Chain A
Amino acid sequence: MERFPSNPNLPSPQRGNLSNLSRFVQESRPTWPWLGTVFALILLFFVIPDFIASMRPEKQGLIYYQFTQIALLSIAAAGVWLTFYIGRINIGQGALCLVGAYVSAIVQVKLDVSYWLTIPLAGIFCVLVGIVIGWPILRLRGVYFAMITLILTEVAKLVVLNFPIVTNGARGITNIPLPEAVTLFGFTILPEFTADNNRMYFYFLSMFVMVLTFIALFRLVHSRIGRLCKSLQQNEELASSLGVNLVLLRLIPFCISCFMGGVAGALAAGVQHNVGPSIFTVQDSVNYMLYCFMGGLGNLFGPLVGTVILRMGWNYLTAAGDYQLLFYAIALIILMLIIPNGVMSLSPVRIYQRVVGWLGNRRPTLNTVPHNRKS
């Protein structure tokens, strides 16, 4: 049934199943985020830990650690995705992670503040850094913005190396304590992390933060701010002609991105018990971008999916020894050629068509190619 009576004077647009499907998802918006969240929480907090518990005890720590890493990297990659969302290529997230990690470590060790407080503190500090850096550089576009952000990670590393009084220089900060228990009115809200259980507890902590991050991001993208960001990504001049304050609207997503970087860094500092100038390198910054590309820039779960695929792939490829990077790079190139818009751009409908097309040795039956009358 048509939602709108069609005007006989106008050529009626041809709609494929794909747009019907996406419209269905759009219109049924109120329920599916909740279902998705519940599903994700059950998976991350019951199914995966249950699965890991069935493994050999000496292996469990490593598996928890790898999952924790994926969670942390996807939080940082989500930040990078958000800067992509306003049309900026950000290759400097590693710098913010490094700042976050050091803020958390320094505040814990030198000022003796609880680890739990340093996580938001690191985020807020990174927002301030983001304002200072973002204000001047966000007016740059395309490759110029990418170039400036590319050097940020190296700059952050040099800053760390050249202020040994605060940062302990090249030796790093190695005596970060494990997070202590938090009790409120006699109830233990957060348990004490010990040498035995910290891998598992950090897994729960980082997964919790990751879920929170993606809920916040989902809300952002589907709110008016998300729409404005999308307009900025397409055409900044047009947006400003509609009265959009470009400076503010570029800065807000960038600062949120920095916050995510800072939080991921602070979590990493806790997980690793030590920080050094090279825990986040240019390589990491580039990786965050690759995770976004791999997952797809069009969907906010792109960075998550991309991180899972690439990080797990990387971990499995350790079996290849010296050739790990070679195989990784080859796989990356092939994947980018097959799915240039990322994994999340694949639609079940289109895959079905392809399969039908191959099997029947004929052209696809369903028309999902956007009808473009203006060639």
Chain B
Amino acid sequence: METILEVNEVSRKFGGLVAVNGVSFTVKKGEILSVIGPNGAGKSTLFKLISSFMPTSSGNVTFRKERISGLAPHIVARKGVVRTFQETTIFRNMTVRETVIVAHHLRSRANLVGYYFGTHLARKDEREFGESADEILAFLNLTAMAHEQASNLPHGHLRALGIAMGLATNPVILLLDEPFAGMNHEETMRAVEMVRSLRDNRGLTVLLVEHDMPAVMKISDRIVVLNFGQKIAEGTPQEIQQNPAVIEAYLGTADESIGI
């Protein structure tokens, strides 16, 4: 399988603290790769480095052999690497449908002047965005909420809205920031199905950062484990479950391991 995202020896220092230390891995087209690790392992920092929301101290990230670290976030998004945020990050002053329509920004063919004066192309764009938004909302089971203020949505639907925004940008690889945080078992299993259907039905590559172990084990093709900013293991869920370094990172010592 073709490698589309490559993380090469990426480091990030905050003063004397090394949050991410020389992490490398690759993401292949069409796979679901999870980055896990205990609290403070540098997952979120790594996530920001990959999506270029934070510059790297050293090392780089390449997408389809093209360097993306150091570029402005909107240019990275334009290339097809799109991140989602945690649930609280939404446009509170818009309805769900409006939010998803706005998220179609990258697909626009008319320019801003065209949108202002409502040229033929701009109107065509708007129509297509509306249809595409409805389609995405139906795909993520949000149709009933389409005209609700985004800030009024319950928990699980907010997460789906975040993913809907990501989908609207037509990404090649979608980076999900803790998509299962704060969900109960049932909600998590539903979200797992949703993420999997992104890959199966829409051909997306998914990279997710998460610390809900059962969900990660269920969903991932491969897992990268971080601890104290360093990569300590990489492999399939079965390999990770048996890896003594991972067990030690999560449970302290290996001898009293009770399985994950």
Would A242 and B89 be within 8 Å (CB), given that A7-B141, A252-B112, A374-B155 are in contact? no
| C-alpha gap A155/B155 in the complex (Å) | 49
Would A12 and B144 be within 8 Å (CB), given that A230-B91, A237-B53 are in contact? yes
Chain B residues near A10 (CB-CB < 8 A)? 141, 144-145, 157
| C-alpha gap A237/B91 in the complex (Å) | 11
B102 adjacent to chain A (CB < 8 Å): yes
Would A225 and B116 be within 8 Å (CB), given that A4-B144, A243-B105, A371-B152 are in contact? yes
| C-alpha gap A121/B203 in the complex (Å) | 53
| C-alpha gap A65/B91 in the complex (Å) | 43
Contact residue range for chain A? 35 or more
Q: Mark A226-263, 1 if CB is under 8 A from B, else 0.
A: 01101101110110111111100000100000000000
A372 adjacent to chain B (CB < 8 Å): yes
Q: How many A-B residue pairs have CB under 8 A?
A: 115
| C-alpha gap A246/B106 in the complex (Å) | 13
Q: Mark A9-53, 1 if CB is under 8 A from B, else 0.
A: 111110000010001000000000000000000000000000000
Q: Which residue of B lies closest to A249 (CB)?
A: B112
Tell me which residues from 72 to 118 in chain B have a Cβ below 8 Å from any Cβ of chain A: 72-74, 77-78, 82-85, 89-94, 98, 101-103, 105-106, 108, 112, 115-116, 118
A59 adjacent to chain B (CB < 8 Å): no
Would A373 and B102 be within 8 Å (CB), given that A224-B112, A230-B93, A234-B91 are in contact? no
| C-alpha gap A7/B144 in the complex (Å) | 6
Is B78 a contact partner of A243 (Cβ separation < 8 A)?
Answer: yes
Is B152 a contact partner of A370 (Cβ separation < 8 A)?
Answer: yes
A223 adjacent to chain B (CB < 8 Å): yes
Q: Which residue of A lies closest to B94 (CB)?
A: A230
Is A237 a contact partner of B116 (Cβ separation < 8 A)?
Answer: no
Would A240 and B74 be within 8 Å (CB), given that A224-B122, A231-B94 are in contact? yes
Chain B residues near A5 (CB-CB < 8 A)? 143-144
Tell me which residues from 112 to 159 in chain B have a Cβ below 8 Å from any Cβ of chain A: 112, 115-116, 118, 122, 126, 141, 143-149, 151-155, 157
| C-alpha gap A375/B144 in the complex (Å) | 21
Residue from A228, A237, A240 whose CB has the most chain B CB atoms within 10 Å: A240
B169 adjacent to chain A (CB < 8 Å): yes
Is B90 a contact partner of A238 (Cβ separation < 8 A)?
Answer: yes
User: Among the listed B106, B116, B146, which residue makes an inter-chain contact with A219, where contact means beta carbons less than 8 Å apart?
Assistant: B116
Would A243 and B77 be within 8 Å (CB), given that A4-B146, A252-B112 are in contact? yes
Contact residue range for chain B? 35 or more
| C-alpha gap A4/B155 in the complex (Å) | 21
Chain A residues near B143 (CB-CB < 8 A)? 4-5, 7
- B222 CB → nearest A CB, Å: 24
Chain B residues near A209 (CB-CB < 8 A)? none
Q: Which residue of B lies closest to A233 (CB)?
A: B93
Would A242 and B165 be within 8 Å (CB), given that A4-B143, A10-B145, A13-B152 are in contact? yes
| C-alpha gap A242/B154 in the complex (Å) | 22
Would A373 and B144 be within 8 Å (CB), given that A231-B91, A235-B91, A237-B53 are in contact? no
Is A245 a contact partner of B116 (Cβ separation < 8 A)?
Answer: no
| C-alpha gap A7/B116 in the complex (Å) | 36
B51 adjacent to chain A (CB < 8 Å): yes
Is B73 a contact partner of A373 (Cβ separation < 8 A)?
Answer: no
Tell me which residues from 323 to 375 in chain A have a Cβ below 8 Å from any Cβ of chain B: 370-374
Is B73 a contact partner of A240 (Cβ separation < 8 A)?
Answer: yes
A220 adjacent to chain B (CB < 8 Å): yes
| C-alpha gap A371/B168 in the complex (Å) | 27
- B163 CB → nearest A CB, Å: 12
Chain B residues near A245 (CB-CB < 8 A)? 72, 74
A56 adjacent to chain B (CB < 8 Å): no
| C-alpha gap A227/B94 in the complex (Å) | 9
- A155 CB → nearest B CB, Å: 30
| C-alpha gap A220/B92 in the complex (Å) | 20
Is B105 a contact partner of A241 (Cβ separation < 8 A)?
Answer: no
Chain A residues near B90 (CB-CB < 8 A)? 234-235, 238
| C-alpha gap A165/B92 in the complex (Å) | 52
| C-alpha gap A318/B44 in the complex (Å) | 60
Between-chain CB contacts (< 8 Å), 27 pairs: A4-B144, A7-B141, A7-B144, A10-B141, A12-B144, A13-B144, A224-B108, A224-B112, A227-B98, A227-B101, A228-B105, A230-B93, A231-B94, A234-B92, A235-B91, A237-B53, A237-B73, A238-B91, A241-B84, A241-B85, A242-B102, A242-B105, A242-B106, A242-B168, A243-B77, A370-B151, A374-B153
Residues of B within 8 A of A (CB): 51, 53, 72-74, 77-78, 82-85, 89-94, 98, 101-103, 105-106, 108, 112, 115-116, 118, 122, 126, 141, 143-149, 151-155, 157, 165, 168-169
